[in-house]
C-alpha cells in the first residue's frame, strides 16, 4: 500500500459549507510508498472483518424467504435493475465517462484499463470462468455463540435467517458465476481427532448442493478457526495445527470427493498469529512472522496432500491457498511458497483486499471514491500490479476471495465507482473478485450487505451491475 496525508479539517469544513460536491476532494491523498498506513497498520496488511467481530444485528421481519406485504425498508425493487451499459471493451471512453443513469440517478462509470497479457494455461482459463463471486458471509462461519440449544442454529446466529435454495437462485440470476461459502468447524467437532458433527457437515453439503443445481462455482474452506486452540502458525503450536488441518480436510474432502471441478477447496481463511503485534501485517523483518510464514507453507502443503490422498475428483481438484493473513503482502513475503502438487496447474492463490482501507473498511476514514483521482486508485493499482507480476505473469491464477466497500452514510455512487474500478482493474490482470456480503444493511457497523436473504432482493443492484459490467 501507499501512505496518506490528510488535508486540513478546517479546509474541508469550509469547502463543505460552499458546496457538498467538493467533499470528494476533502479525503486523503496518496503519496509515495511508506512503512505504515494512516491508521498505523503497515502497507499490505490484511483488512477483513476480524475473527472476533460482532455479529450483525438480527434483522426484524418475516420468516426466512417470506415476502412482506409492503417493504418500507428500501426503495429498491425486488430484483436487480438492468441498465443498458454494455460490456467493457478496448475502445472505451476515458475513465470518468458515465454510463446511463438508473432511476436513482446512480451511474456505472466507464473504465478504460489496458488489459495485460495473460498466459495461456488451463488454470487461468478456469479462474476466468469463475467471472465474479459473492460470499455467503456471517453464516456457516459464525462461531462461539452462547445460548444455542441446537448447533445447527449457528447458521443463522449472526444473520437471523437460514439459507434457502432461493439464495443460490438469486445469486445465479444476478449474473454471478461463483459463490464462496465460508465454514467454521471448531464448534462442531469432538474428540482429539476433531470428528465433525454429522448434522453440521450434512447441512453444509445441503447448501453446497443448492449452488450445484445452479451450476455455480463453489468455494468452501476452514474459516474462523484461527487461534491457539486450533490453528496457530507457530512452531509451538504446529503439531496441533497440523492435526486439525489434516483432520478437517480429510473428512470434508472425503464427503465431497465425487463432486466435479465446480467445487473448489480453500485451505484456510486469513491464517495469522492472532493477538500478535503483527497479526495483520506480515513484517518481513519480524522473526515471528518469518516463522509463521514457514509454518503456513507447511500447513498449506498438508492441506494439498490430504485432499489429494482422498482420491476421486480430489486427485485434480482446483485448490486455493493464502499467504499470511491472506494479505497481498503475505503472498509477497520472501519466504512464502505455493505448495507442490501431484496435479498439474491446479493451484490458485487466495487474497483478501479491502483496498484502499480508508475508503473500503476503515470506520470513518473517507467516504468518497473518484476514479480520476490517484488518491482513490493508487493502492488498487499497486497491489494488483504486485499480484500480476509475482503470480499471474508466471501462470499462477489469483482469486480475490474477499473485497468490498462498506456503506458510509449512503455513499452509493462512490461504492459503485469503487466497485467498477476495482473489478475492471482485476479483470485487466486476469483476477476474479468475490464480494464479501455479511448481510448487514443498517446501524453503525460494517455494512457490506448486498443481498437481503429474507426477501431475496438486491439492496444495491447498482453495485452488482458494476461487478457484472467489468468482470472478466
Residue pLDDT, tens place only, 416-472: 999 999 999 999 999 999 999 999 999 989 999 999 999 999 999 999 999 999 998
Catalytic one among 188, 223, 333, 352?
223
Q: How far apart (Å, rounded) are the C-alpha atoms in residues 340 and 344?
A: 10
Instruction: State yes or no: is 223 an active-site residue.
Output: yes
pTM of the shown model = 0.82
Quick one: pLDDT at residue 101?
Answer: 66
**Contacts of 420 by beta carbon, 8 Å cutoff, 6+ apart:** 108, 109, 111, 371, 466, 469, 470
> pLDDT digit string (tens) for 35-57?
333 333 334 444 444 333 444 44
pLDDT-derived band at 174, boundaries 50, 70, 90:
very high
Residue owning grid cell 445452479: 214
Pairwise CA distance, residues 246 & 304, whole Å? 10
What's the pLDDT at 103? 73
Q: Is 165 a catalytic residue?
A: no
Question: What average pLDDT score do residues 302-319 get?
Answer: 98
User: Residues 394-414: pLDDT tens digits?
Assistant: 999 999 999 999 999 999 999
For the question of residue 291 being annotated catalytic, the response is no
In CATH terms, 31-50+58-67+78-470 corresponds, of 3.40.50.2300, 3.60.15.10, 3.20.20.80, 3.90.1150.140, to 3.20.20.80
DSSP H helices in 399-448: 412-428
Find out whether 352 and 268 touch, Cβ atoms under 8 Å. no
- CA within 13 Å, CB half, 334: 6
Catalytic residue, chosen from 48, 155, 270, 279, is 270
Cell 491523498 locates to 29
Q: Are strands 189-190 and 195-196 parallel, antiparallel or unpaired?
A: antiparallel
Q: At what angle do helices 165-173 and 198-213 cross, to 10 degrees?
A: 30
- The percent of residues above 90 in pLDDT, for the chain, comes to 78
Domain ranges across the chain: 31-50+58-67+78-470
Element (H or E) spanning 183, and its range?
none
Confidence at residue 96, expressed as pLDDT on a 0 to 100 scale: 43
The single residue of 402, 446, 462, 465 carrying the catalytic annotation is 402
Residue 344 to residue 346: CA distance in whole angstroms: 6
pLDDT at 354 over 70: yes
Mean pLDDT over all residues of the chain? 84
Question: Which SS3 state, helix, strand or coil, does residue 153 take?
Answer: helix
pLDDT, one tens digit per residue, over 110-142 is 999 999 999 999 999 999 999 999 999 999 999
CA separation for the pair 77, 143 (Å, rounded): 33
Q: In the numeric block, which cell numbers belong to residue 202?
A: 450434512
Burial 171-185 (b: 16+ CB within 10 A, else e): bbebbbbbbbbbbbb
**b/e per residue 154-165 (b: at least 16 CB within 10 A):** bbbbbbbbbbee
pLDDT above 80 for 34: no
- What is the mean pLDDT of the segment spanning 372-390? 97
Report whether 205 contacts 256 (CB < 8 A). Answer: yes
Strands 107-110 and 132-135: unpaired
What number of residues does the chain have? 472
Amino acid at each position: 500500500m501507499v501512505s496518506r496525508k490528510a488535508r486540513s479539517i478546517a479546509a474541508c469544513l469550509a469547502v463543505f459549507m460552499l458546496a457538498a460536491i467538493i467533499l470528494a476532494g476533502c479525503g486523503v491523498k496518496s503519496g509515495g510508498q511508506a512503512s505504515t498506513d494512516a491508521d498505523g497498520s503497515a502497507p499490505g496488511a490484511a483488512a477483513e472483518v476480524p475473527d472476533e467481530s460482532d455479529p450483525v444485528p438480527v434483522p426484524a421481519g418475516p420468516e426466512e424467504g417470506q415476502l412482506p406485504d409492503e417493504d418500507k425498508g428500501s426503495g429498491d425493487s425486488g430484483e436487480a435493475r438492468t441498465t443498458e451499459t454494455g460490456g467493457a471493451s478496448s475502445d472505451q471512453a476515458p475513465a470518468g465517462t458515465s454510463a446511463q443513469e438508473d432511476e436513482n440517478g446512480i451511474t456505472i462509470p466507464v473504465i478504460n484499463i489496458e488489459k495485460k497479457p495473460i498466459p495461456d494455461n488451463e488454470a487461468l482459463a478456469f479462474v476466468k470462468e469463475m467471472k465474479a463471486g459473492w460470499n455467503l458471509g456471517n453464516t456457516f462461519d459464525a462461531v462461539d455463540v452462547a445460548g444455542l440449544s441446537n448447533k445447527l442454529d449457528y447458521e443463522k446466529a449472526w444473520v437471523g435467517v437460514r439459507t434457502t435454495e432461493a439464495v443460490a437462485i438469486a445469486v445465479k440470476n444476478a449474473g454471478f458465476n461463483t459463490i464462496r461459502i465460508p465454514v467454521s468447524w471448531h464448534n462442531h467437532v469432538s474428540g482429539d481427532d476433531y470428528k465433525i458433527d454429522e448434522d453440521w457437515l450434512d447441512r453444509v453439503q445441503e447448501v453446497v448442493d443448492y449452488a450445484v443445481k445452479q451450476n455455480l462455482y463453489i468455494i468452501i474452506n476452514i474459516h474462523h478457526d484461527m487461534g491457539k486452540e486450533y490453528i496457530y502458525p507457530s512452531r509451538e503450536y504446529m503439531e496441533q495445527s497440523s492435526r486439525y488441518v489434516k483432520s478437517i480436510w480429510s473428512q470434508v474432502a472425503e464427503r465431497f470427493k465425487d463432486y466435479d471441478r465446480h467445487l473448489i477447496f480453500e485451505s484456510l481463511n486469513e491464517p495469522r498469529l492472532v493477538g500478535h503485534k503483527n497479526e495483520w501485517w506480515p513484517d518481513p523483518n519480524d522473526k515471528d512472522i518469518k516463522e509463521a510464514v514457514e509454518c503456513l507453507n507447511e500447513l498449506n502443503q498438508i492441506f494439498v496432500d490430504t485432499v489429494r490422498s482422498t482420491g476421486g475428483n480430489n486427485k485434480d481438484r482446483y485448490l486455493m491457498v493464502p499467504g499470511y493473513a491472506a494479505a497481498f503482502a503475505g503472498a509477497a513475503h520472501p519466504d512464502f511458497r505455493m505448495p507442490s502438487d501431484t496435479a498439474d496447474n491446479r493451484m490458485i492463490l487466495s487474497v483478501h483486499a479491502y483496498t484502499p482501507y480508508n475508503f473500503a473498511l476503515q470506520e470513518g476514514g473517507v467516504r468518497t471514491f473518484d476514479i480520476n483521482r490517484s488518491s482513490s486508485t493508487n493502492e488498487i493499482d499497486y497491489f494488483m500490479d504486485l499480484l500480476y507480476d509475482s503470480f499471474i505473469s508466471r501462470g499462477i491464477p489469483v482469486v480475490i476471495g474477499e473485497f468490498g466497500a462498506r456503506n458510509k452514510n449512503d455513499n452509493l455512487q462512490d461504492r459503485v465507482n469503487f466497485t467498477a474500478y476495482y473489478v475492471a482493474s482485476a479483470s485487466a490482470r486476469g483476477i476474479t473478485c468475490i464480494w464479501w456480503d455479511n448481510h448487514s444493511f443498517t446501524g453503525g457497523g460494517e455494512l457490506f450487505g448486498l443481498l437481503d436473504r429474507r426477501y431475496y432482493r438486491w439492496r444495491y443492484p447498482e453495485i452488482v451491475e458494476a461487478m457484472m459490467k467489468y468482470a472478466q
